[in-house]
Amino acid sequence: MAEAVFALCALTSLACAALLLRSYRATRARLLLWSSVCFVGLALDNILLCIDLIVVPDIDLSLARALLALTSVLCINVGLIWDSK
């Protein structure tokens, strides 16, 4: 059950990242680029979560995941502050 949730998190976040990247390519809106970067980072975080908790459960990757998530959220905040009107 938990593994299914982790996998679904990774898949849905990848789908979000892909849709946002597609929207950015169509509109060239910079905020969409920042959002895309954020969601690519969150997707990588979710993939790393699957690796951390399923593939290598004896190695703690929580700090790496946390730093990846923080970087992603920082990206969207930079975009919102810098490139929104």
Please report whether residue 77 would count as binding other proteins according to CB under 8 A.
Answer: yes
Q: How far is the CB of 39 from other proteins (least distance, A)?
A: 8
Give 9's Cβ-side CA count (13 Å radius): 17
CA-based nearest residue to 46, from 78, 76, 5, 18:
5
Burial label, 59 (beta-carbon count in 10 A; 0-12, 13-18, 19+): exposed
Please report whether residue 84 would count as binding other proteins according to CB under 8 A.
Answer: yes
Please report whether residue 55 would count as binding other proteins according to CB under 8 A.
Answer: no
d(CA 60, CA 26): 40
Please report whether residue 40 would count as binding other proteins according to CB under 8 A.
Answer: no
d(CA 37, CA 71): 10
Of 37, 40, 66, 82, the one binding other proteins (CB under 8 A) is: 66
- Which residues of the shown chain bind other proteins in the complex (CB under 8 A)? 2, 5-6, 8-9, 12-13, 15-16, 19-20, 23, 39, 46, 49, 60, 62-63, 66-67, 69-70, 73-74, 76-77, 80-81, 84
